[in-house]
Amino acid sequence: MAIPEVLLFDLGGVLVESAGLQELPRLLAAPMQPEDLRRKWLTSPAVGLFETGRCAEQEFAAAFIEEWGLELGRDEFLEEFRSWVRAPYAGTAELLSDLRSRHKLACLSNTNAAHWKRLLQMDGLGPVLDRPFVSHEMGVMKPSLEVYAQVARELGCEPGGIAFFDDGPENIDGAAKAGLSAHQTVGPVALRNVLGDLGLL
């Protein structure tokens, strides 16, 4: 494969440990199957509003608590919610520093103001945070084709010149439909393996 112009990374699940879908079941009144939980999260109106920048934290908390039937106050829930974004995976800083010496790097993440504030404070993500694309600022979320088109426009390259790495199958499908070279990876070991297979390390 030709060397891509840009390596574009998702954050949660690819470069950063994100525990939302593991922690959320503790807060629920009744258990949910993991796939049902994930589906509900991906289609949640409250999450969609917050992650496209169309509501404030307190509004999001109230809507999410009602939508999911949680028995928490807004501030208590938000404290839990903020903690779901943990830290970069071990070795992420070194990997990105190494890649940055040979490639242009960027990130594309469905996120929100609360989690983005935490992400900006994390050590080791600098190489991808130099060129961030985040849903709450863009006003649109993956896997919308418009997300990928907007990223390509702003990066000044053709979609096919972007290698994209994400843990979500629906995001990979959307990116591939938009013309990106899309690769599903979950966690640091899988990411290194994919990068190695592509000859990018």
Half-sphere exposure of 47 (CA within 13 A, CB side): 17
Mode of pairing for the β-strands spanning 16-18 and 6-9: unpaired
- How many domains does the structure of the chain reveal? 2
Residue 106 pLDDT: 98
- Higher pLDDT: 21 or 133? It is 133
Is residue 52, in this structure, part of any structural domain at all?
yes
Q: Are 101 and 170 contained in the same domain? A: yes
Is residue 162, in this structure, part of any structural domain at all?
yes
Q: Are 95 and 51 contained in the same domain? A: no
Is residue 103, in this structure, part of any structural domain at all?
yes
Residue 20 pLDDT: 86
What predicted TM-score, i.e. pTM, was given to this entire model? Answer: 0.95
Among 83, 104, 132, the domain boundary falls at 83
Please list the residues that pair with 12 across neighbouring strands: 16
Q: Are 164 and 75 contained in the same domain? A: no
Among 42, 61, 83, the domain boundary falls at 83
Alpha-carbon torsion (76, 78, 80, 83), positive or negative: negative
Residue 1 pLDDT: 63
Q: Are 153 and 190 contained in the same domain? A: yes
Containing structural domain, residue 74: 20-83
Q: Are 108 and 175 contained in the same domain? A: yes
Q: Are 121 and 79 contained in the same domain? A: no
Is residue 1, in this structure, part of any structural domain at all?
no
* Pure H helices in the chain: 20-27, 34-42, 45-50, 57-68, 74-83, 92-100, 113-120, 126-129, 135-138, 145-155, 169-177, 187-197
Is residue 78, in this structure, part of any structural domain at all?
yes
pLDDT tens digits along 14-67: 999 999 889 999 999 999 999 999 999 999 999 999 999 999 999 999 999 999
> Residue 64 is part of a domain; what is its CATH number?
1.10.150
Residue 2 pLDDT: 81
Is residue 11, in this structure, part of any structural domain at all?
yes
Closest CA to 80 of 93, 94, 64, 56: 64
